[in-house]
Structure 1
Amino acid sequence: MEKAFYPCKYSALVEQYAAEYDLDPLLVYSFIRTESGFDPAATSSVNARGLMQMTEETFLWMRSKLAAGEKVTFDDLYDPAVSLRYGCYYLHLCLQRYNGDVATAAAAYHSGWGTVDTLLQMEEHSADGVTLQGFPYNQMHHYVEKITACYAVYTRLYGTNQD
């Protein structure tokens, strides 16, 4: 019954891009569930789009790194394959930048690298300058809690590895 609230929709695409970008598929499901509730037509109050809820600024940056020669537009994020490709790549970069720490990477996915990098320089938020121990902004704190709690449930329900 609980699995109905924690689905594994778009599994072929999730598995494909999780493998391509060295991500745990269960973490990807956690982001999709938190970001869009698995609604490919989701649009946020800041105009983030698709399953993985990417803003236009982030999309344009990701496109320059991932698909500079392709004719992919911001509107294409409503296509699950495009949203997952770009969102998984961005999540991969966040995890890579923040040494695989899910909470810090989630904060960066939500609030941007600049915000997280600034917080990492403050002793009250990071003892080591690499991972955040606290999330001082309410939205960021709530988001990180949702991602980590969701990931814990997905891991409990579906196992630690779906490779």
Structure 2
Amino acid sequence: MRILTRMKILVRNIIILAIIAYGIYNTDWFQKKYIYPFPYQDIVYQYALERELDPFLVAGVIRTESKFDAKALSPKGALGLMQMMPETAKWVAEQMEKHDFATMQLENPEINISMGTWYLASLKKEFKGNEVLMLAAYNGGRGNVKQWMGQYSWDMSFRDSKKIPFGETKKYVDRVLESKKRYQELYGR
């Protein structure tokens, strides 16, 4: 009987702790501090607004790409907060007329965000503001997205990320859009 009573007390305490932990996890404070932090907020706002991008979309891209790690390096060689590939960054630097650009500058948060938002804005223009297509192009390449558009008869109204043929790109688009929504809820008030 004593063992049964102790077990009931233990189970009750575990349930109470789980409820408390769940409550803390769902507070805006916890979410902002540990799940959806927003470092470099001023830089993100500056370049997003300058380039007519939603700052929460940019935050979602950065969170998904690097979790706000300015020194992030992907196995494929993408660098910095917005995980730009060196070849893409060199092309962007040419378009922005940054003649003194060096790939290692992508570890600088301001340079990375400036160039990454420039690239996102070019994709936004190319894909007529369609966030699903521009994010798919950011992750999977604009050439692939154009190919899918022709192959699957997608137009600029395409919104169904589940139809994206690359699993990684499909997950990427969904993660960024979910993060964008959550950043809007937490920081957009």
Contact 2:127 2:156 in 1 (8 A): no
* CA distance in 2 between partners of 1:89 and 1:139 (Å): 23
- CA RMSD in angstroms comes to 1.5
Contact 1:51 1:84 in 2 (8 A): yes
Question: 1:146 corresponds to which residue?
Answer: 175
Normalized per residue, the structure richer in helix is 2
Contact 2:128 2:156 in 1 (8 A): no
> CA offsets, 1:92-148, max 9 Å, x none?
11111111111111000001110000001123x62x366363211111111111111
Contact 1:50 1:79 in 2 (8 A): yes
Question: 2:101 corresponds to which residue?
Answer: 72
Question: 1:52 corresponds to which residue?
Answer: 82
Contact 2:56 2:181 in 1 (8 A): no
Q: Among residues 132, 135, 156, which one is paired with 2:185 in the alignment? A: 156
TM-score by length of 2: 0.78
* CA distance in 1 between partners of 2:126 and 2:102 (Å): 26
* Consecutive unaligned residues in structure 1, runs of 5 or more: none
* CA distance in 2 between partners of 1:109 and 1:14 (Å): 17
Q: For residue 159 of structure 1, report the CA deviation from its aligned partner.
A: 2.4
* CA distance in 2 between partners of 1:42 and 1:18 (Å): 21
TM-score by length of 1: 0.90
* Consecutive unaligned residues in structure 2, runs of 5 or more: 1-29
Q: For residue 90 of structure 1, report the CA deviation from its aligned partner.
A: 0.5
* CA distance in 2 between partners of 1:64 and 1:31 (Å): 23
* CA distance in 1 between partners of 2:169 and 2:45 (Å): 27
Question: 1:25 corresponds to which residue?
Answer: 55
* CA distance in 1 between partners of 2:45 and 2:84 (Å): 20
Question: 2:67 corresponds to which residue?
Answer: 37
Question: 1:97 corresponds to which residue?
Answer: 126
Question: 1:118 corresponds to which residue?
Answer: 147
The reply to whether residue 12 of structure 1 matches residue 39 of structure 2 is no
Contact 1:99 1:130 in 2 (8 A): no
* CA distance in 1 between partners of 2:102 and 2:109 (Å): 13
* Counterpart residue identity of residue 131, structure 1: F
Deviates more, 1:103-112 or 1:131-140: 131-140
Task: Mark the CA change 1:122 to 1:2 in structure 2 (over 3 Å): closer, same or farther.
Answer: same
* CA distance in 2 between partners of 1:97 and 1:47 (Å): 25
Question: For the pair shown, which has the larger CA radius of gyration, 1 or 2?
Answer: 2
Say how many residue pairs are matched. 157
Contact 1:36 1:53 in 2 (8 A): yes
